[in-house]
Structure 1
C-alpha cells in the first residue's frame, strides 16, 4: 500500500473497520482514500467506507459519534421489515440539547435525529434505541408506505399497542405519521399483503376488510367491497402440491359462496398491478349480489410469509 494511503487505512482499522467517507477524505485527502480502496479489500461509497466483512456497521458508527442507532438503521435489529432500498446512511438519535456529535460535525454518512423526548435504549443493547423510540422516529422519517409496512408488522406481533405509538402533534413528518397510524392494521400478516392493500386504498377502491374470516373457508387476505377476495401467493403456492390443492379447494368453496377470487404473485404485487386488475373485476362483476356473511366459528388461519424477503431485496425505493 502506498505510504500516503497508510494513515487512512490505519485510521480505518482503529475505528473498527468502518468510518464515514467524508471524515476520511477531510483528514487524509480524496486521493489517499481512493488509493487505499483500490489496494485493499475496502468498499468506499459516497457515505461510508468499510473493510469487507465488517459487521455491526451502525453500532460502530454510533460508538464513534456518541449517538444511539435509531429509525431505519435500527429496524433490522428489532426485526422490523423495511421495504425498498436499505438505508445507505446511519440514522443516529441524540438529545436535542446536543449541539454537535462526538468527533465533529455530521457528514453525509449520518442522519442525525435530535429527539425532544427521552431516548429509550434497548436494555441488552445500549447502543440501540428501544422499539417505541425507533417506531416514533421511523414513521416521521421514512415514506408513508415504509411506515405502514413497519406498523402492520409490530401491531400484528403485539410488540406495541395502537395507543402506544408515539405520534408527534406537529413538526416535519407529523402529518405523514398520523396517516400511517390511521392506515395501519394489526390483522395484516405479510409485507406483500400490506403493499397490495395500499395499492387498492391509494386507488380509492374499497371498503377493504383485512384478514376477513369466511365461514367454511377460513381467513382470506383481503376482501374488497364484500365481493372480491384478493389472495397474495408466495412461491410455495406454485411449487408445493399440497398447497396448490388447498388453494384450489378454497377457491372452489369461495366461488360457491358467490365470491370472485383473484390471486396475485409477489412479483405482480411489486409490479403494482393489483389496483388495475381489481378495478377491472369490479367493473365487470360489481353488480352481483354480495354473498351473505354468517358468523365465523372456525379457527383463524395465518397467511404464508415465505416471500417477504423479496420485498426487501427487489422492492423499489418508496421514498
Structure 2
C-alpha cells in the first residue's frame, strides 16, 4: 500500500488536495493517480478512492463534510433515522451541488435527500481537508438538528457504547445554548436501545415511576420496571426476531409471571407508532395500583424478590 493510499484511507477515502499536500503527498502523484483512474475527482480540490464510502463522497460533492446523524450512524449510534444525508457547510457557503452530480445545483435543502448544517458559531474548528466531522462536532450538530427526545436517544447510545464519556458530553454542552444543557440530566448510559430510551422518556413525561435495566433473579435484566412489579419489555427488530430470541423472551415472560410481575411486552412498531396506546395501558395499571406489591401478594409469598438496578425514579 502506498503512502497516498494510507493517508487517504485514514481520512475516510476522501480528502482535499491541501490535506494530502500537508502530509507529504506531491501534487504530481495525485495527478498521476487521477489519470490512471486510481483516484476520482469529487469536486474542485477534492479527490476520493473508488472504494470510498458513498455517503462521504456525496457530502463532499454537495460542498461540505459529513456530520450529525450521518457520522453517528456509522459508529453504530442509535439515531431516529430520517434517511437524510447530513452535510455541514461553511456559515456563508452558497454554491452547493446535488449529491450525485457536482454539475447540478442542490436546490432547496431536503429536496435531494440532504439536510444542510451551517457551521455552529463557537464550535471547534474542523481539521482542514477532512471529509468527516469528529464525533464531538457531530454531537454539536445533533443538538441543533433533532428534537430533544431524539437527541437523548443518541446520547444514551453514545454513553452505552462508551464512544464519549458523560464528562466529555458536559464539555460539549457547555459551549451550546443554555436550553440544550438540561438534556444531560435525562440521559441514562444503561439504556440498551433507542426504543428503551423513548419508552423511558414517555414514562417520565407523565410522572410514572420506573427503574431501568433492573436485575430479576431467574430472568436477568429487564428493560424497565414500573413501580415494584410492572415490567415493560421493548423488543427491537434486530434482537427479538429470531426463533431462539423468541423462545427466550417467552421463557422470561413466564418466569416473571410466576414471580408475580405484570409483563407488558411491546414491539418496535408499537413504540414508534402507537406510544399513546402503550401509555394508556400503563397509566391504567398505575391508576389501579397494580404496579405496587399489595398485601395479597405478600401473603402469597410474592414481592420478596431481590432486585438490582437504577434508583427508582419516583415522580408520583
Q: Do these two structures clear the TM 0.5 threshold for a shared fold by scoring above it?
A: yes
Does residue 155 (structure 1) correspond to residue 147 (structure 2)? The answer is no
1:16-31 equivalences in 2 (<5 Å): 16=42
Conservation of the 8 A alpha-carbon contact between 2:66 and 2:88: yes
Tell me the TM-score normalised to structure 2 length. 0.63
User: What is the deviation of 1:296?
Assistant: 5.4
Seen in structure 2, the aligned counterparts of structure 1 residues 213 and 286 have a Cα distance that, compared at 3 Å, is: closer
- Partner SS state of residue 126, structure 1: coil
- Partner SS state of residue 173, structure 2: coil
Conservation of the 8 A alpha-carbon contact between 2:190 and 2:212: yes
Seen in structure 2, the aligned counterparts of structure 1 residues 73 and 121 have a Cα distance that, compared at 3 Å, is: farther
What does the per-residue CA deviation read over 1:186-228, in whole Å, with 9 as the maximum and x for residues that have no partner? 111112222222222223222x211111222210011111221
Q: Distance in 1 between matches of 2:96 and 2:196?
A: 44
Seen in structure 2, the aligned counterparts of structure 1 residues 226 and 179 have a Cα distance that, compared at 3 Å, is: farther
Q: Which of 250, 262, 275 in structure 2 is aligned with 1:248?
A: 250
Aligned length, in residue pairs? 235
Q: 1:101 maps to what in 2?
A: 93
Q: Which of 199, 207, 214 in structure 2 is aligned with 1:196?
A: 199
Does residue 184 (structure 1) correspond to residue 187 (structure 2)? The answer is yes
Q: Distance in 2 between matches of 1:245 and 1:55?
A: 38
Q: Distance in 1 between matches of 2:133 and 2:285?
A: 45
Q: 1:139 maps to what in 2?
A: 143
Q: Which of 167, 170, 174 in structure 1 is aligned with 2:173?
A: 167
Conservation of the 8 A alpha-carbon contact between 1:121 and 1:127: no
Conservation of the 8 A alpha-carbon contact between 1:149 and 1:194: yes
Seen in structure 2, the aligned counterparts of structure 1 residues 84 and 238 have a Cα distance that, compared at 3 Å, is: closer
- Partner SS state of residue 261, structure 1: strand
1:67-106 equivalences in 2 (<5 Å): 67-87=64-84, 90-92=86-88, 94=90, 100-101=92-93, 103=95
Q: Distance in 2 between matches of 1:259 and 1:197?
A: 19
Seen in structure 2, the aligned counterparts of structure 1 residues 283 and 136 have a Cα distance that, compared at 3 Å, is: same
Q: 1:265 maps to what in 2?
A: 267
Does residue 114 (structure 1) correspond to residue 117 (structure 2)? The answer is no
Moved more, 224-233 or 253-262: 253-262
Q: 2:280 maps to what in 1?
A: 276
Seen in structure 2, the aligned counterparts of structure 1 residues 164 and 74 have a Cα distance that, compared at 3 Å, is: same
Seen in structure 2, the aligned counterparts of structure 1 residues 93 and 159 have a Cα distance that, compared at 3 Å, is: farther
Seen in structure 2, the aligned counterparts of structure 1 residues 103 and 248 have a Cα distance that, compared at 3 Å, is: closer
Q: CA RMSD in A?
A: 3.4
Tell me the TM-score normalised to structure 1 length. 0.62
Conservation of the 8 A alpha-carbon contact between 2:60 and 2:131: yes
Q: Mind listing any 5+ residue stretches in structure 1 that lack a counterpart?
A: 1-13, 18-53, 298-319
Q: Distance in 2 between matches of 1:57 and 1:243?
A: 33
Larger RCO (CA under 8 A, 6+ residues apart) = 1
